[in-house]
Amino acid sequence: MQSYAAPARALVARMTEAARAAPERAVAYQGAPGANSHVAANQALPDGLPLPCFSFADAVEAVLSGAAGCGIIPIENSLHGRVADMHFLLPESGLVIVGEHFLPIRHTLMGLGRLEQVTQATSHEQALGQCRRWLAERGIAPVAYADTAGAAALVAETGDPSLAALAPPGAAELYGLNVLASDIADAAHNTTRFVILAREANGGRVEGPAMTSLVFEVKNVPAALFKALGGFATNGVNMTKLESYQRDASFTASEFFADIEGQPGDVAVDRALDELRYHSKWVRLLGSYPRARERG
Contact yes or no for 15/52 (Cβ under 8 A):
yes
Choosing from 16, 108, 122, 192, the catalytic residue is: 192
In whole angstroms, give the CA distance from residue 80 to residue 69. 29
CA distance linking residue 101 with residue 33, whole number of Å: 19
Catalytic residue status for 194: yes
Phi, psi angles (nearest 5°) of residue 154: -65, -45
Q: In a 10 Å sphere around its CB, with 0-12 CB exposed, 13-18 middle and 19+ buried, how is residue 65 labelled?
A: exposed
List the Cα angle 109/9/146 in 5-degree steps: 50
Q: What is the dihedral of CA 112, 118, 124, 127, to 10 degrees?
A: 110
Question: Which residue among the candidates 54, 194, 232, 256 is catalytic per the annotation?
Answer: 194
Judge contact between 262 and 269, C-beta under 8 A: yes
Maximum separation of any 2 CA atoms in the chain, in Å: 61
Contact call for residues 291 and 211 (beta carbons, < 8 A): yes
Tell me, yes or no, if 192 is annotated catalytic.
yes
**Enzyme catalytic residues:** 192, 194
